[in-house]
Amino acid sequence: MSRSSLAFWTIAAGRGELRHAELAPATDSTVIVRTLYSGISRGTERLVFAGKVPASEFERMRAPFQEGQFPFPVKYGYASVGQVEQGPEALLKRKVFCLYPHQDRYRVPVDAVTVLPAELPPARAVLAANMETALNACWDAGIAPGDRVTVIGAGVVGALVAWLSASIPGTDTTLIDINPARAELAAKLGLRFANPDQAAANQDVVIHASGSEAGLARALELAGFEARVIELSWFGNQRPALPLGQAFHSQRLELRCSQVGHLPADRRARWDHRRRLAKALELLTDSRLDALISGESDFRELPLVVPELLADGADVLCHRVKY
C-alpha cells in the first residue's frame, strides 16, 4: 500500500498549493485513513487563508493536526471523512470522521477518529465540526422550551443553531440574514426566516453568527429585558464597535461568548469532546441537512477553487471536497 499523501497548504495570503508527504505505517495505536470527503468551513478558513489570524491567537487557533505556523505556510482544516485502510482490526474499512486538514491520506492515533453512525452518509458527515459548534452554542445559550429565539446569520453554523433550537419543544425560533436567498435554505430546514428589519424584538435569546459588526449591533437591539446575547462569530483581527451606550445597560443585557474549543462549565463533569462529537454525528442523520452543502469540487482543484470560495462576498455554505 502506498505511503504517499497529498495535502493542501496555504502558502501566502490568498494562495495555496498541494504538497506531498510520506506516511509512517500504522501501528496498534494508530490508523491510516483514506479520505473520501472534507469540508471547507468558510468562516474560520477564510481568515486563515487571508492571513488574518491575530498573533495573540497563533497557538489557541491551531487545528488539532495542523502543520506549519500562522500566518504561513500552514496546513489547516478540521472536517475530514474517510475510510480506515490500516490499523486495528475493529476499525478496518470503517467510515470515520477526524478533525484533520485537507489531505488525501493521513495517519493519526486511534482515538482521533470517530466511527460514523450506520445511517449517516459520509458525504454529509463533513458537517460534523459545524454541528459540534452549533450544539455547544445551544448549551451556552441555555435555550429552554417556550423561549423566543433569534439567530442572526444564516451561514452553516447559524442555520444549524436555528435548526437545533427549533427542535426544542415550544421554542419560537427565527433565522435572519441580509441575503434574501437564505429564505430558501430556511424553508428546506423547516425554519422561519426574516430579514433583519422584519425581525421581532423582545427576544429571550439572540445568537449572533453573521461575523459582522452590524449583525452584532442588531442582536443587542432585538434582545428583551435581561436577555442573553450569544456571540458565536470569530472576528479574527477585526475590532468591531458595539453600541454599549444604548439599550445594553438599561435592558441589563448579558453578552456571552460561545467557542467550541471548550465545553460549557456545567457540562464538563459528564461530557468530553469525544462524547460531543459522537452526538454531533448522530444529529446529522436528518437528510434535510444536505441543504447546507452548497457545492463540491475535486481535491486536486483546491489551489484554483479555494481563492474563489473564500473571497469576500462569495455565497458559500459548506463546500465539500471529493477525493
The neighbouring-strand residues paired with 149 are 173, 205
pLDDT of residue 237: 80
pLDDT per residue of the chain (323 residues) written in tens, 0 to 9: 668 999 999 999 999 999 999 999 999 999 999 999 999 989 899 999 999 999 999 999 999 999 999 999 999 999 999 999 999 999 999 999 999 999 999 999 999 999 999 999 999 999 999 999 999 999 999 999 999 999 999 999 999 999 999 999 999 999 999 999 999 999 999 999 999 999 999 999 999 999 999 999 999 999 999 999 999 998 878 888 889 988 899 999 999 999 999 999 999 999 999 999 999 999 999 999 999 999 999 999 999 999 999 998 899 999 999 99
- What letter does residue 255 receive in the DSSP assignment? E
pLDDT of residue 140: 97
CB neighbour burial string for 95-107, b if at least 16 within 10 angstroms, e if fewer = bbbbbbbbbbbbb
The residue length of the chain stands at 323
The neighbouring-strand residues paired with 22 are 4
Give yes or no for a contact between 123 and 35, defined as CB atoms under 8 angstroms apart. Answer: no
Residue type, 187: A
Domains of the chain and any CATH numbers: 4-124+286-322 (3.90.180.10), 130-257 (3.40.50.720)
What is d(CA 94, CA 83) in angstroms, rounded to the nearest whole number? 6
pTM: 0.96
